Amino acid sequence: MKPGLDFLTILRRHFPIFMGAFYLALFALAISLYLLLELYPPARADYSASMVLVNLGMSIYLCAVNFLVIRGRPWAVWLIVAAMVACILVVVGHWGRRAPDLLYSIGLLLPLAALLTLNSKRYRAMLVAMVEVRGQRAAWRQRHQKARKR
Which of 16, 55, 13, 15 lies closest to 33, judged by CA? 55
In a domain, 128, yes or no: yes
What local confidence, expressed as pLDDT, does residue 120 receive?
95
The answer to the question of residue 134 being in a domain is yes
In one-letter notation, the amino acid at residue 39 is L
Query: Does residue 102 belong to any structural domain of this protein?
Result: yes
Measure the N-to-C terminal CA separation of the chain; round to a whole number of Å: 26
CB count within 10 Å of CB 114 equals 25
Q: What is the pLDDT of residues 33-75, one digit of tens each?
A: 888 888 777 777 777 888 888 889 999 999 999 999 988 898 9
In the chain, the number of structural domains is: 1
Does residue 41 belong to any structural domain of this protein? yes
* pLDDT at residue number 60: 95
Averaged pLDDT, groups of 10, the chain, 150 residues long: 66 90 95 85 78 90 94 93 95 82 91 96 92 86 80
Can you tell me the distance from the alpha carbon of 9 to that of 132, in angstroms, rounded to the nearest whole number?
13
Q: Looking at residue 5, what is its pLDDT? A: 66
Q: Is residue 51 part of a domain?
A: yes
Identify the pLDDT of residue 7: 67
Q: Tell me the pTM.
A: 0.84
pLDDT for position 68? 94
In a domain, 61, yes or no: yes
**Alpha-carbon dihedral sign for residues 48, 49, 50, 55:** positive
Exposed, middle or buried, 112 (CB in 10 Å: 0-12/13-18/19+)? Answer: middle
**Range of 140's domain?**
7-149
What confidence score (pLDDT) does residue 135 get? 87
User: Is 2 domain-assigned?
Assistant: no
Asked if residue 37 is part of any domain, the answer here is yes
pLDDT attached to residue 4 = 57
